[in-house]
Amino acid sequence: MDSIEQCINERVCHEQVLQNTLKRLNERQRQIQQCKVQEVQSSITSLGDKTSSRMVSDEGNDQSSKNQSNTSRNKSNMSWNECYVKSTSGDDMDTNPTYDTEQMIEVPYSVEYNVFALETQHYVQPKSITNAYVVEKVDSNIIPGSLDMCKNDDQIDQNAKACGDERVVLINLIANLKLDVDVNKRIQKQLKKANASLTHELEKYKSDLEESNRALGESTSTWDTCLIALQNKQTELDKYIALIDQTIDYDILQTKLNETLRLLAQKDIEVKEGLKLKTMKF
């Protein structure tokens, strides 16, 4: 009985320990999930801030580049107009009417030359001047923009690298979280299996205890019956012993009575012989 109760108490204590362990594991899992969610949210927030700042910087760079291109375009148009005005003013000066005969001969040539020059200035020279001016302005305006673009490219590369690192960190965190969840699920399965086994063993011990109690009750009733029978036998034995004692006393008395009768008979014989002797004397 004591060993069975001790075993049951040990099983109950073991179940309590398992339940406490399961509670601690659930609490730990909840804390880990909260930490992971907070880390993911903070990472997403920082990533969004970096993305927004990068978008703002890109928009600023695009706006500045557009402004620079518009400024260079306006300057090139102004230079082309100035060149055109100069060329036309020169041609007009060359084509003024003169009354010199020699100059009359050279006028068509000069006019033709100026016309061709006008055509070249109108179609070719402004283009070359514009190209030279644009190249010069590009050299003066685009290089800082290109430096800014290089800086922006470096910043984009750094942001991309940071995003990649954060993505790797998030992937590792998610993998660790999945691993922790899998481990927790495996531990919960083991605990459920152990709990089921312990419950089965506890039910078995309870049934054995009930069977032992029932057998003990039957043994107790049998013991009581045997005790009553033993008491009855003891009473009968006492009576028999008393009867034996009485029989022994009767035998002793009978022996004493026989001895007394024998002595009396002997005395009677002696008395009779004495009487005979007395009668013979007379």
For the cut 50, the answer to whether the pLDDT of residue 141 exceeds it is no
User: Which amino acid belongs to residue 62?
Assistant: D
Task: Say how many C-beta atoms besides its own lie within 10 A of residue 114's C-beta.
Answer: 20
- Model-wide pTM > 0.75: no
Gap between the Cα atoms of 180 and 173, Å rounded: 10
107: pLDDT confidence band, cut at 50, 70 and 90?
very low
Give the domain ranges of the chain.
2-235
Per residue in 66-92, pLDDT (tens digit) is 555 555 555 555 555 554 444 444 444
Q: What is the mean pLDDT of the chain?
A: 69
pLDDT average, residue stretch 152-170: 74
- Compare 24 and 187 and report the one with higher pLDDT: 187
- What is the full DSSP assignment across the chain? -HHHHHHHHHHHHHHHHHHHHHHHHHHHHHHHHHHHHHHHHHHHHHHHHHHHHHHHHHHHHHHHHHHHHHHHHHHHHHHHHHHHHHHHHHHHHHTS----HHHHHHHHHHHHHHHHHHHIIIIIHHHHHHHHHHHHHIIIIIHHHHHHHHHHHHHHHHHHHHHHHHHHHHHHHHHHHHHHHHHHHHHHHHHHHHHHHHHHHHHHHHHHHHHHHHHHHHHHHHHHHHHHHHHHHHHHHHHHHHHHHHHHHHHHHHHHHHHHHHHHHHHHHHHHHHHHHHHHH-
pLDDT average, residue stretch 162-171: 78
The answer to whether the beta carbons of residues 75 and 137 sit under 8 Å apart is yes
Per residue in 8-51, pLDDT (tens digit) is 677 777 677 777 777 877 777 777 777 777 777 777 776 666 56
Gap between the Cα atoms of 228 and 168, Å rounded: 87
The answer to whether the beta carbons of residues 57 and 156 sit under 8 Å apart is no
For the cut 60, the answer to whether the pLDDT of residue 145 exceeds it is no
